[in-house]
Amino acid sequence: TVLEEVEDPLVARHNYRKGITGSVCLPVQYRDAFQAEQDVYRLHATDCGRVFVKQVNDHGPASAKGVRPGDELVRMRVGRRKFFAPEGDAGCLRRLAEPGLFTGQPVMLYFMGFSGKLPAEVNVQIERCSSPLGFSTVNDLVGDSAFEVVE
């Protein structure tokens, strides 16, 4: 008998996203926002709203996962359901760590690697439309689906 090779659906989703974006986010789990702020302790916001890592604890979870200065912080998740985009706020981790609404909840940070480290070619295809797009951030353009991470 011939056995068909069945692809795991999670692997299929991962490969599908990687085929579209060419990259995969690095998820880093923390027990709370205070630990995240102590691990990724310097961020830089650009004029166009992107947030990049300037300094990371060499012995922390982010460094162990491969996060390096120059990587982009693209998404934050607090608890199981609350997703946030940093949207130009270099103090986003400090604000999450302040006592209040999110105290004690686990935090997952999603980093996009290789920003500015390697030469890259990006091909973007859009259909022309009669009205201007008016998007201000990547999240406005592609929504949450671009940041799907298989954990």
pLDDT in tens, 16-26: 656 666 666 78
Chain center to CA of 141: 15
pLDDT in tens, 91-146: 888 888 888 877 788 999 988 875 444 444 555 555 555 555 555 555 555 555 54
Of all helices (H) and strands (E), which one includes residue 114?
A: none
Chain center to CA of 106: 16
Domain covering 24-147 in this structure, CATH number: 2.30.42.10
CA distance 128 to 16: 25
Sequence-ordered list of residues with C-beta below 8 angstroms from that of 97, at least 6 positions apart, any chain: 32, 33, 34, 36, 37
pTM above 0.85, yes or no: no
Contact yes or no for 35/1 (Cβ under 8 A): no
**In this structure, what are the phi and psi dihedrals at residue 130, rounded to the nearest 5 degrees?**
-75, -25
Question: Quick one: which of 90, 88, 20 has its CA closest to 55?
Answer: 90
CA distance 57 to 115: 19
Question: Across the strands, what pairs with 108?
Answer: 29, 77
Per-domain boundaries in the chain: 24-147
